[in-house]
Structure 1
Amino acid sequence: MRSHDIEALVSVGRPAVAPDGSFTVFATSRPDIAANRNVGQLWRIDLPDGAPRRLTRGTSDTAPRLSPDGTRIAFLRGDAKGKPQVHVVDAAGGEPVQATDAVLGVEDYAWSPDGATIAYLARVPEKGRYGSVEGLDASAEAPRHITGIRWHANGMGYVADRPAHVFVIAAPATDSEPFYEPAAAVLPDDTTTPKKTLVAAEARPLTEGTTSHSGLAFTADGRDLLTVPDDIEPDRRDLRSRVVAIAVDGSGEREVLGTDAGLSLYGLEVAPDGAIAMLAHEVGDGVDFVAPGVGLWLLDADGPRRLTDAETIDLGEVGSHITPSGDDFLVQDRTRGRVRLVRVSRAGELTEVLGDEVEVNGHAAGGGRIVASVARPESYGELVLFDGDDARPLTTFGAAAAASGIVLPTELTVTGRDGYPVHGWVATPEGEGPFPVILQIHGGPYAAYGIHLFDETQVLVDAGYAVVYCNPRGSAGYGRAHGRSIRREMGTVDFADVIDFLEGAIADDERLDGERVGIQGGSYGGYLTAWVIAHDHRFAGAIVERGFLEPQSFQGTSDIGSFFGDEYVGVSADDIARQSPMAVVGQVTTPTLVLHSELDFRCPLEQATRYYTALKRQGTEAAMLVFPGENHELTRSGQPRHRVQRFEAVLDWWRRHLPVG
């Protein structure tokens, strides 16, 4: 595939299934280069044999959720200012009705058990900030008084001055009379034309103050809302979570789970019988998050109880969520580049529902049927139906990407220098070669390359390169010990693993030219790329993208700087220097392209500029490309034109430093 073929990458979001299993609804999303944004709508499929039918025609309709009786669909759609608001449409289709009018948009929402109410989370700005006062420019706002250990977040910016609060609002009727634009008039009280009415009901806040909230789940009786409060710590980061139950009638709140439980929450769900299920991990001293072993927990009367094994089952960071199914729960487990769907009983018994060559992104159940959104080696996103014993596809969105020309990678395991098995893949162009080789390194580090159709690999293969990529120690999906092996030992066994895999892949396939190799990676992959080229000079060129390059300054600039570097590289000056790419930048002779985004608050821009400047000052060939308006997620959800321009820059760099043929 070519760079502009990213338009064929259709992702399928988390589905919803009618209570009787008669139909499913879901949202799709894809990059649109002309519109320069991701676009998508809602779809419906009547089960078991219906064809996909587009249900809405918005620009970017997302996150559909069915009312408890299955007659209405709530979803998020941008309003006139582009802020996501809850809309409701009849499950059979029709014109959606706007339900919320939050100043900064809605972050999350939930139906009440009786379908009469919608609860939602929305950020409330301090007066005068973020356009809340017409005509007040951001540069003229009052100064921000910061006293806590956190103040910003990647993809958003400042956080303390816009906490997320819980609201409830009456769900609108889908057949109600529309609101009409008022005509110009002078009213008796000397005011002029009234504002147009946008929503039928007034939202009622259930929380206020500086505490922010995340996650929403109604209790089974509908009387309370479960949510996770988030207070910015004054001095030291604390990843332990609390859960509170807020009375819907406004009569107060009570704590359901305290920080003394020592859990950090990733997800929360209430089963029809009232059981509270959580995705969480034990956080030890409050900041030990490395390879956390996220598992499924039940909140029993005497406290939380883990249902899955912390060492071998990993339910985190893949869009994970919980689906109640009978007395059991459906969750996603990532393992060896796959993400399988598993069923977990309340006794902790685990059975696989959907596995093999898939990465499950979302799931839903109803009427004895299970529907899942998945990615495959030949498709970025599809919907599948599990009805009994077999899973069968319901969509063919991957056909467009397949038509653009894709290569199916070959799986490979290489025995490393210390006998450790390193697992990964090799993707090669058609033909006899020899092909120049590019070593790709993923971010994280507790993340993983998977089997799904990956545009970054496919574009390089189309240009004539063999691409080698693996999941070295430190990655997710191979057990907790594998993930924790580089804690405060970065640049050790992970360095060995990627080099050993590269050499093993070249030895395994004579078409790969071991004399012509390049290396690239993003985030932690940027870190390890910078580390490798300081210690191994075989590479014709390197691309260091959105890298974690200077742990010392990262501590005071990154949105996760208050704990990430401390846990991964330690806190002493010696430990930091021992694992810092900036400390060894003087050893780099490889021509290096530095890619970064202007609004990256995860790995801030100063990480790139300091590294680039050091390369230039010592005479190492280097160039830097900075993308305006983008954050850490450029390659995944950035503006499509920027994504294409990035591909063009990457290919141009390799054409000049690692030419094909």
Structure 2
Amino acid sequence: MAKRKLEATDLFKIQSITNPVISPDGNEAVFIRTEMHKKDNKYYAYLYHVKIETSEVTQWTHAKEKVSSPKWSADGKQLAFISNRDDKNQIYIMSAKGGEAKQLTKFEKGVSSFIWSPCSKKIWFSASLKDGRSWTDEAEEKEDKLPEAYVVDNMKYHNDGVGLLPKDTYRQIGSIVIASGEIKAFTEGTFNHSLQAISHDGKKLVMGVNRDESQDFSFHEPMLLIDIETKKESVIIEEDGHFGGATFSSDDQYIAFGGMLHTFKNATHAEVYVYEVSTGKLQILTEGIDAPVGDYAGADIQQGANAPDVVWTNQNHLYFQLSTMGDVRLYFASLDGEIYPASPENEHVYGYDIARNGTYALATISNTIFPGELFKLNLATGERITITNFNEELINEVELVEPEAIVYKGLNDWDVHGWLMKPAGYQEGQKYPLVVEIHGGPHTMYANTFFHELQLLAAQGYGVLYVNPRGSHSYSQHFVDAVRGDYGGGDYEDIMAGVDYVLKENDWVDEKRLGVTGGSYGGFMTNWIVGHTNRFNAAVTQRSISNWISFYGVSDIGYYFTPWQIGTDMTNIDKLWDASPLKYAANVETPLLILHSENDYRCPIEQGQQLYITLKAMGKETSFVRFPQSDHNLSRVGFPNLRQTRLDQITSWFAKYL
């Protein structure tokens, strides 16, 4: 039986399998399955249990809710998780034998994160709290409240996906006794605290806190080791940069964590750090690897994926993710410097946990024609056992196109890596249109992972070219940093060299039917391309940047991201304008569809509005689609119906002009 072509609505059939967590004894585990519910227009995430020996899978929660952050108690008898079934994210707890979950917290603003105490009788948590209030206060009455003015005092006052930040509210750390519900505050003050780790002896806590009086240009959060009884603090690291995911070794002698300095601002490679508790010595375990620690892959189906920064075994060995050459692989490291890959090439390990004895891993893995499932990996032999098959029916039903990996020479004779997909149903001797996709970031990457949007374009009869130009992660520090101060320069040349390479090597590509699209940075680059060449016949720009001058003041990150990436601020308007696609609007001859979310605080909708009105006034072929109640992440976690609308708009535009 012939397979059918993939459709936009198949997005609703893809199951996202994430967050495996192994029990302390290694005999069982839990994970999360997320689905997009078309009728309710929501995402639901369910908790599942698996017996390791038999791979028997059982669904543990069934309510229409979003479950996240499952964690076993130290004695393995209980499981806690965060759920939004009570509107806000709250902690729930259940027996490891199954049964109904009990709500543990009822905080007005919900819970940010939590960690079990080693005694298994108490849970530590971090939650937002208004200054002067306690978690035991009754919730404020908000019904029929008159609108109030929002007085802005700081430059960091709004965030994409959040909106205006709550006034006089700070993230604090506390603990709650499970049996009695007694709550004790651990931190106080007008600062945000992040809960990182608790030692196995229950005596020490790791937290992050930035106590700078003004934090507008403060880009660090010192990581501190706290004596729980005396509250005496020791600094683990306080460099400019981002650090987190701390975890104690089983003997409490070491603390491992992930993080990046600001040497190259947000283009700096992340590393694995190890802190020796007794001496205060700090080493960078991965400094010999010229690739970033962590998962930098861009995709559109892995909802709720949240992998640990680093995991210890009882032998004081560590495992972590590494983004390398378009892959996200699991890596092993020892404290004496031994480091090697623990998973193969050509795939995306987007979630994992390691058995404490170091014998096996549970990992959620995807590749270009496989949406992702849960596997058990034998860490000694590499053998793997498939545990889940939630996406098997869809895979067997639809025709998927396996991309061809390509390498070509970009500007300065640099190697540029990417992928080329032939159209679904490709027939030798026929000519096909080609769509060029450009990722966001720019410091992310296309990877060997499943991407529904790319498969959909192939199913619609397009070849698809997607590459990692300079500025992309997973190659080298020099490569990822090379885009800063050169937007529209070498990155543009790398992408266009990819088009030239594909046209030269593939006679099935119709050079008179070329399309281009991308979002965020990819939207900027789409705008830039159509202002600098007329070789494309259709373009779709999404959540884009068109004007760096206005972006500086309206984006939630504009005032620092702009100088980081463009190399200047409002003191040099000419340089900002020269790097703005809007400056070149008069050159645009390519029909351009502009897609933008109305609640996008990262690349605010005025960026799309400016471009649309300017092009329209010039008599250019353009259209503008606005997505209500949506932010910068529409294509990944937005309302399901609007995600489908977005895909329909893209494919309709290309169908019209290609």
What is the TM-score normalised by the length of structure 2?
0.90
Post-superposition offset of 1:341:
0.2
Q: Helix, strand or coil: the match of 2:74?
A: coil
2:37 to 32, 37, 49: 32
Counterpart check, 1:76 vs 2:64: no
Counterpart check, 1:169 vs 2:176: yes
Aligned to 2:265: 289
Aligned to 2:459: 462
Q: Find the aligned partners of 1:456 and 1:464 in 2 and give their Cα distance.
A: 13
1:5–1:127 distance in 2 versus 1, CA, 3 Å: farther
Aligned to 1:322: 310
Q: Find the aligned partners of 2:330 and 2:97 in 1 and give their Cα distance.
A: 29
Counterpart check, 1:298 vs 2:278: no
Post-superposition offset of 1:137:
5.1
What pairs with 1:210-609 in structure 2 (closer than 5 Å)?
A: 210-230=190-210, 234=214, 236-246=216-226, 248=228, 252=231, 254-257=233-236, 259=238, 261-274=239-252, 275-284=254-263, 288-300=264-276, 301-309=279-287, 312-318=290-296, 319=306, 321-325=309-313, 326-366=315-355, 367=357, 368-387=359-378, 388-389=380-381, 390-402=383-395, 403-416=397-410, 418-428=412-422, 429-432=424-427, 433-571=430-568, 572-609=572-609
CA RMSD of aligned residues (A): 2.1
1:255–1:58 distance in 2 versus 1, CA, 3 Å: farther
Q: Find the aligned partners of 1:291 and 1:311 in 2 and give their Cα distance.
A: 15
Q: Find the aligned partners of 2:36 and 2:337 in 1 and give their Cα distance.
A: 40
Aligned to 1:124: 129
Structure 1: where are the runs of 5+ without partners? 173-199
- The residue identity in structure 1 corresponding to 2:573 is A
Q: Find the aligned partners of 1:478 and 1:28 in 2 and give their Cα distance.
A: 32
Counterpart check, 1:628 vs 2:628: yes
Structure 2: where are the runs of 5+ without partners? 1-5, 297-305
Indicate if the aligned counterparts of 2:196 and 2:245 stay in contact, CA closer than 8 A.
Answer: no
Q: Find the aligned partners of 1:386 and 1:95 in 2 and give their Cα distance.
A: 31
Indicate if the aligned counterparts of 2:438 and 2:466 stay in contact, CA closer than 8 A.
Answer: yes
Post-superposition offset of 1:334:
0.5
1:457–1:245 distance in 2 versus 1, CA, 3 Å: same
Instruction: Report how many residues are paired.
Output: 622
- Compare 315-324 and 328-337 and name the one that shifted more: 315-324
Q: Helix, strand or coil: the match of 2:595?
A: strand
Q: Find the aligned partners of 1:265 and 1:408 in 2 and give their Cα distance.
A: 37
Q: Helix, strand or coil: the match of 1:645?
A: helix
Post-superposition offset of 1:506:
2.5
Indicate if the aligned counterparts of 2:291 and 2:473 stay in contact, CA closer than 8 A.
Answer: no
1:266–1:564 distance in 2 versus 1, CA, 3 Å: farther
Post-superposition offset of 1:420:
2.1
Q: Find the aligned partners of 2:560 and 2:202 in 1 and give their Cα distance.
A: 37
Indicate if the aligned counterparts of 1:409 and 1:426 stay in contact, CA closer than 8 A.
Answer: yes
Instruction: Write out per-residue CA displacement over residues 380-408 of structure 1, whole angstroms, 9 at most, x where no aligned residue.
Output: 22111122312232222231331233221
1:597–1:215 distance in 2 versus 1, CA, 3 Å: farther
Q: Find the aligned partners of 2:214 and 2:587 in 1 and give their Cα distance.
A: 40
Instruction: Write out per-residue CA displacement over residues 341-384 of structure 1, whole angstroms, 9 at most, x where no aligned residue.
Output: 00111123211111223211121122432111222223222111
Q: Helix, strand or coil: the match of 2:372?
A: strand
Q: Find the aligned partners of 1:137 and 1:156 in 2 and give their Cα distance.
A: 22
Indicate if the aligned counterparts of 2:295 and 2:323 stay in contact, CA closer than 8 A.
Answer: no
Q: Helix, strand or coil: the match of 1:79?
A: strand
1:148 to 144, 154, 172: 154
2:110 to 81, 97, 105: 105
What is the TM-score normalised by the length of structure 1?
0.90
Post-superposition offset of 1:471:
0.4
Instruction: Write out per-residue CA displacement over residues 619-647 of structure 1, whole angstroms, 9 at most, x where no aligned residue.
Output: 21111111111111111111111111111
Indicate if the aligned counterparts of 2:70 and 2:82 stay in contact, CA closer than 8 A.
Answer: yes
Q: Find the aligned partners of 2:199 and 2:343 in 1 and give their Cα distance.
A: 29
Indicate if the aligned counterparts of 1:357 and 1:376 stay in contact, CA closer than 8 A.
Answer: yes
Q: Find the aligned partners of 2:646 and 2:130 in 1 and give their Cα distance.
A: 34
Instruction: Write out per-residue CA displacement over residues 303-340 of structure 1, whole angstroms, 9 at most, x where no aligned residue.
Output: 43211026613114545511112311111000122100
Q: Find the aligned partners of 1:11 and 1:243 in 2 and give their Cα distance.
A: 33
Q: Find the aligned partners of 2:513 and 2:225 in 1 and give their Cα distance.
A: 60
1:206–1:53 distance in 2 versus 1, CA, 3 Å: same
Instruction: Write out per-residue CA displacement over residues 461-514 of structure 1, whole angstroms, 9 at most, x where no aligned residue.
Output: 111111111001110011111101111011111101111112212322222211
Q: Find the aligned partners of 2:388 and 2:97 in 1 and give their Cα distance.
A: 19
Indicate if the aligned counterparts of 1:379 and 1:399 stay in contact, CA closer than 8 A.
Answer: no
Q: Helix, strand or coil: the match of 2:559?
A: coil
Indicate if the aligned counterparts of 1:127 and 1:133 stay in contact, CA closer than 8 A.
Answer: no
Aligned to 2:72: 66
Indicate if the aligned counterparts of 1:311 and 1:481 stay in contact, CA closer than 8 A.
Answer: no
Q: Find the aligned partners of 2:256 and 2:189 in 1 and give their Cα distance.
A: 28
Indicate if the aligned counterparts of 1:279 and 1:297 stay in contact, CA closer than 8 A.
Answer: yes
Indicate if the aligned counterparts of 1:340 and 1:352 stay in contact, CA closer than 8 A.
Answer: yes
Aligned to 1:5: 10
Q: Helix, strand or coil: the match of 1:279?
A: strand
1:3–1:238 distance in 2 versus 1, CA, 3 Å: same
Aligned to 2:62: 57
Q: Find the aligned partners of 2:577 and 2:171 in 1 and give their Cα distance.
A: 38
Q: Helix, strand or coil: the match of 1:527?
A: helix
Q: Helix, strand or coil: the match of 1:564?
A: helix
Post-superposition offset of 1:217:
1.0
- Compare 612-621 and 408-417 and name the one that shifted more: 408-417
Q: Helix, strand or coil: the match of 2:214?
A: coil
- The residue identity in structure 1 corresponding to 2:261 is E
